[in-house]
Amino acid sequence: MEIYNTTTKKEVSLTIIDSKTNCDWSYDLIGNAGDLNYNRAECRYEMDSENIEWWATIIKGLVKIEDLTEEAKELLSSEDFEELEETLMNEGNVCDYEQHVATLTNILENIIKENN
């Protein structure tokens, strides 16, 4: 999704694509958090540099989780992977994106390290 950076006065892209559906879910992610500010006069979404950088970090972390999950899937039996998926769902904290990314990344990295 394109967002106008109110600090730099330039448009930037914040995008996360679901690898299974190939759908861009950036609007859902950022919009559901209440961080999208639509400027009707300019017909664009706007955000300051600090928030853009924060969201870029979160998106990068979520993509890493997806990549690590795929790597773990290749290393684990189907039963162990199902157990891992359940753990990830239970341990994630979608109310705190930073904590969510840190927790799930740590779990996945430990699983991969143990099974490599």
pLDDT computed for residue 59 by the predictor: 97
Residue 41 structural domain? 2-115
| Number of domains present in the structure of the chain | 1
Query: Residue 65 is which amino acid?
Result: I
pLDDT computed for residue 20 by the predictor: 86
45 pLDDT band (50/70/90 cuts)?
Answer: very high
Question: Does residue 56 carry a pLDDT above 80?
Answer: yes
What is this structure's pTM?
A: 0.92
Closest CA relative to residue 100, chosen from 76, 66, 72? 66
Q: Are 112 and 68 in contact (CB under 8 A)?
A: yes
pLDDT computed for residue 89 by the predictor: 93
Condensed to tens digits (0 to 9), the pLDDT of residues 79-104 reads 999 999 999 999 988 789 999 999 99
pLDDT computed for residue 94 by the predictor: 73
Q: Strand 44-47 and strand 2-5: pairing?
A: parallel
